[in-house]
Structure 1
Amino acid sequence: MAAVWSGALSFGLVAMPVQLVSATESHTIRFNQLQRGTSDRVRNKRVNERTGDEVPFEEIVKAYDTGEDYVVVEPEELEELAPGRSKALEITGFVDLEKIEPIFFDKTYYLAPKSKEYAKVYGLLHEALSRSEKAGIATFVMRNREYLVAVKAEGDILALHTLHWADEVRDAHLETLLEQAELAEREVQTAVQLVEALSMDWDPHEYHDTYQERVLEMIEAKRTGATVEKGEPPPTTTKVVDLMAALQASVESAKGRRKQADAEEEEATRRSRPPTHIKEAAEKRRARAAIKSEEKLPKPSELKGLSKTELYQRASDANIPGRSSMSRDELIKALSSKSGRRKATVS
């Protein structure tokens, strides 16, 4: 993964060269713009609004509107304002993680040492932050913009979270509404019961982008002429007079689901493990099924006849990483290599 920034991370008198890589990637479905009724792509152009002429990229400059005129600013002039800051990430202090309110967090990056010789310094900072449960606060300049950041230990690596500046966080303006709302203790207790009944362990892997899946299904349906199913309508707004009844019904429903889940878990725990010969037979059946599934995988020549949507769906089924940013040829190559790499053996 390409680094988005490189420079020197320092805390106290200790410094090491590091590089910054994005910790997340978007799997947003991207659409092309066409003229309706045709297959003609519509392109965006940089046009001089006075003459209507297209302007080459190298002739475009940045300018600030003062209200009376424009002040042109060259890239090198911005760089000269902070030549050292654009390569320095200096931790000026450490704070308790719980002191940073979630609203201040923006984007996450991973910090990595640029070479193995700095692994000890990297590990030292990581261990110190992990044991102290603190985050290092720093500022640095990237792409002509200054960032306030928090550096913290996450797993086996150091993560850098960009933070919003204080004047970027809007006031909630909810004080008046909360003062006007009269909360009955019985309603509050029932609401707390609902929260407790719906409490669960946080596992981000249980969640996936179902909307993106529906969009891909719609695209395939439109391509093949199939019927496009509509989604569920939004829930009906709860009337204030029905609030208590809605809360109580929600608690009972949640308790029912929890009771059923607990019963299923107890039943699974009660059952003893299958005998060894049954377990071995099951493993062999799974291996044979894997081989059979492998034999059904399409050959590269067959993949070339599929649409990009079909290729993306197969890549999703095969759990191929980075598939959302792949071109059609890259999807074919990834699926082909996956097919050739996976083998199963049955004794």
Structure 2
Amino acid sequence: MARSIWSGYINFGLVSVPVGMYSATEEHELDFHQFQKGTSDRIRYKRVNERTGREVPFEKIVKGHDVGGGEYVIVDPEELEDIAPGKSRSLEISTFVDLDEIDPIHFQKSYYLGPSDKENASSYALMRDALAKTNRAGIAKFVMRGKEYLATIRADGKVLVLETMFFADEIRDPAKEVGNLPAKSGATKQLSMAVNLIEAMSGEWKPSDYKDTYTERVQKLVDTKRKGKEVVFTEEEPEATTSTDLVTALRASVEAARSRRGSTTKKSTAKKTAKKSTTKKSTAKKTTTKKASTRKKAA
């Protein structure tokens, strides 16, 4: 069992549920060090005083905030600790909202919450089941590693999941970031065909169907170069579909998607039929065996 990275209490109303927090995700990543090209010399970073050129120990470093005009306000780490929210051990739920009302853009990182002791596991189970039954999520704030977080607490099967969230003022305005966005599409025929394509390509969400192919390529590159060989990946860059080719591309895409879906359905049906046939044969054998044994007893 992994060690919890935070422990405290979920508080809602007068109820307190002791929990521990655990990492729910891990990223695919290959570690690389930096070297000077053509050598085996490692590149390392040092904290250096730009005026003297001397290395500065970590405990003698303070922070400075740029206030413009080349001026900085210097702040000591101790001063930041004094104004920090504190080492709170409370997940204070202020309200419960419908999960479907939360825009996914607010979600930041997922953590598992587990009961921190067996004696109070019943209160954990009660909260989990109540959230699942109502399709609600608790909105809470808590402090971890000197920082205050906004979070949702929701049920997922047998476990409670905490999602850290971005505050509203941390979400950027798409109009300012992206610029000119097209108005509502007025092409009825193309829209209808696009909807048909989406329907034809729709299916069940199966996370295990999706793999990190880039990390696999990087691993293959490393392994191949280790053997003294060279790997060349060739991949054509897609071209934008012009407005004149849009209808043709949509029609061809719909037909291809329906064809793939049809072949998948046939395979699935064939498997189910074969399974049923095997089950029937097995049942028939069992019945025959029983009848045969009954006849022997009668004889």
Shorter-chain TM-score range:
0.7 to 0.9
Question: Which residue type is aligned with residue 178 of structure 1?
Answer: P
1:269 and 2:266 matched: no
Structure 2 partner of 1:259: 262
Which secondary structure does the structure 2 equivalent of 1:15 belong to? strand
1:36 and 2:37 matched: yes
For residues 142 and 60 of structure 1, the distance between their equivalents in structure 2, rounded to whole angstroms, comes to 23
Q: 2:253 aligns with which of 247, 250, 253?
A: 250
For residues 102 and 61 of structure 1, the distance between their equivalents in structure 2, rounded to whole angstroms, comes to 37
1:202 and 2:212 matched: no
Which secondary structure does the structure 1 equivalent of 2:160 belong to? strand
Structure 2 partner of 1:156: 158
Between 1 and 2, higher relative CO (CA 8 Å, sep ≥ 6) is seen in 2
Q: CA deviation at 1:231?
A: 3.5
Structure 1 partner of 2:5: 4
1:219 and 2:222 matched: yes
Q: CA deviation at 1:126?
A: 0.8
Question: Which residue type is aligned with residue 131 of structure 1?
Answer: K
Question: Which residue type is aligned with residue 201 of structure 1?
Answer: E
User: How much identity, in percent, do the aligned residues show?
Assistant: 46
* Bigger share in helix: 1
Structure 2 partner of 1:332: none
Structure 1 partner of 2:23: 22
1:65 and 1:71 in contact (8 A); partners too: no
Structure 2 partner of 1:121: 123
What TM-score, normalized by structure 1, do the two folds share?
0.73
Q: CA deviation at 1:227?
A: 3.8
For residues 67 and 115 of structure 2, the distance between their equivalents in structure 1, rounded to whole angstroms, comes to 42
Question: Which residue type is aligned with residue 213 of structure 1?
Answer: E
2:84 and 2:146 in contact (8 A); partners too: no
The verdict on how the C-alpha distance between 1:142 and 1:133 changes in structure 2, with shifts beyond 3 A counting, is same
Q: CA deviation at 1:178?
A: 3.1
What TM-score, normalized by structure 2, do the two folds share?
0.85
Structure 1 partner of 2:287: none
Q: 1:131 aligns with which of 110, 121, 133?
A: 133
* Range that drifts further, 220-229 or 138-147: 220-229
1:221 and 1:228 in contact (8 A); partners too: yes
For residues 28 and 131 of structure 2, the distance between their equivalents in structure 1, rounded to whole angstroms, comes to 32
Alpha-carbon RMSD: 2.1
| CA displacement 1:253-296 (0-9 Å, x = unmatched) | 111111221222233333332977xxxxxxxxxxxxxxxxxxxx
Q: CA deviation at 1:221?
A: 1.4
Q: 1:178 aligns with which of 173, 179, 182?
A: 182
Question: Which residue type is aligned with residue 54 of structure 1?
Answer: E
Q: CA deviation at 1:244?
A: 0.5
The verdict on how the C-alpha distance between 1:160 and 1:79 changes in structure 2, with shifts beyond 3 A counting, is farther
| CA displacement 1:19-64 (0-9 Å, x = unmatched) | 2111101121121111112222211111122221111122223343
For residues 251 and 165 of structure 1, the distance between their equivalents in structure 2, rounded to whole angstroms, comes to 40
| Residues paired across the two proteins, number | 274
For residues 3 and 268 of structure 1, the distance between their equivalents in structure 2, rounded to whole angstroms, comes to 44
2:153 and 2:162 in contact (8 A); partners too: yes
For residues 77 and 28 of structure 1, the distance between their equivalents in structure 2, rounded to whole angstroms, comes to 33
The verdict on how the C-alpha distance between 1:19 and 1:243 changes in structure 2, with shifts beyond 3 A counting, is same
Which secondary structure does the structure 1 equivalent of 2:169 belong to? helix
Which secondary structure does the structure 2 equivalent of 1:241 belong to? coil
1:64 and 1:73 in contact (8 A); partners too: no
Runs of 4+ residues deviating >6 angstroms: none
2:6 and 2:20 in contact (8 A); partners too: yes
2:141 and 2:148 in contact (8 A); partners too: yes
For residues 118 and 63 of structure 2, the distance between their equivalents in structure 1, rounded to whole angstroms, comes to 40
Stretches of structure 2 lacking an aligned partner (at least 5 in a row): 283-299
The verdict on how the C-alpha distance between 1:264 and 1:17 changes in structure 2, with shifts beyond 3 A counting, is closer
The verdict on how the C-alpha distance between 1:35 and 1:43 changes in structure 2, with shifts beyond 3 A counting, is same
Q: Which has the larger radius of gyration?
A: 2
* Range that drifts further, 86-95 or 150-159: 86-95
Which secondary structure does the structure 2 equivalent of 1:42 belong to? coil
1:234 and 2:237 matched: yes
Which secondary structure does the structure 2 equivalent of 1:230 belong to? coil
Q: Aligned ranges for residues 279-298 of structure 1 at < 5 Å? A: none
2:85 and 2:148 in contact (8 A); partners too: no
| CA displacement 1:110-165 (0-9 Å, x = unmatched) | 11222112211111111111111100001112222211100111110111001111
Structure 2 partner of 1:316: none
